Amino acid sequence: MSDKFTPTERNRVMRMRDQAHYDRETIYEILDCSFLCHIAFVHKEQPLVIPTCYGRDGDTLYVHGAAASRMMNNMAQGMPISLAVTLLDGVVLARSSFNHSINYRSVMVFGTAMPVTEKAAKLHGLKVISDQIMKQRFEDTRKPSAGELTATSVLAIKIDEASAKIRKGPPDDDEGDLTLPYWAGVVPLTMVAHPTINDPRLDPNKQPPDYVNQYIENFETHVTPTAKNRKKK
């Protein structure tokens, strides 16, 4: 297997090509920092984009949903789909409004979704999605019942083609604007996990497990690796 995806008409980055990345390491690193994607597909000649959670296992992404949903039914027919993941890292404020931008990491994935029907494979796909969101949680819950498995569709998307696009750094102002009297720079952004909120029906003596506390503690540096450097300052 090649370490890079070959640029094609589908996955080639057309604008700001210097920000393009086709190596699996970069693409998979971005995918592993998130668990929310947006999937584009066509339903009755109408383009649709729907957000959903995903999990990655090697070169395969798993998604799930209600067996009756139009997204799952459409994708289960083997039609090509496009999946996007974006992580917002900062607002870039330039001296001119034209040169304002954002710092971000994004991935576009192209592939074909295949239905997962065998029970063990289906449970594996659900575990992959659960682990993507929070490791150890799947083992620390009641497993899906037969009825719940029947009502749930799991799809496996082989990553046939993909590309990443990353923008980082300061504003790219024109040379003639550098002496203008306006502040310029970057406002860093990241997602943060806050302290837990107990279910009101929970036994008041029940405390969050260690893996949940560790998740909260490490969440910011997991989603935004550069946040680790900011915390050290």
Residues 218 and 153 occupy one common structural domain: no
pLDDT at 212 exceeding the cut of 90: yes
Q: What's residue 162's pLDDT?
A: 94
Cα pseudo-dihedral 211, 217, 218, 221, rounded to 10: 170
Quick one: average pLDDT of 167-188? 95
Domain of residue 206: give its range. Answer: 191-233
Is residue 76 located within the same domain as residue 109?
yes
Q: Secondary structure of 162-227 in the HEC alphabet?
A: EEEEEECCCCCCCHHHCCCCCCCEEEECCCCCCCCCCCCCCCCCCCCCHHHHHHHHHHHHHHCCCH
Of 120, 135, 168, the residue at which a domain comes to its end is 168
pLDDT for res 144:
94
Tens-place pLDDT, residues 122-175: 999 999 999 999 999 999 999 999 999 999 999 999 998 999 999 999 999 999
> Which tens digit of pLDDT belongs to each residue from 81-126?
899 999 999 999 999 999 999 999 999 999 989 999 999 999 999 9
Mean pLDDT, residues 59-82 taken together: 85
Total domain count for the chain? Answer: 2
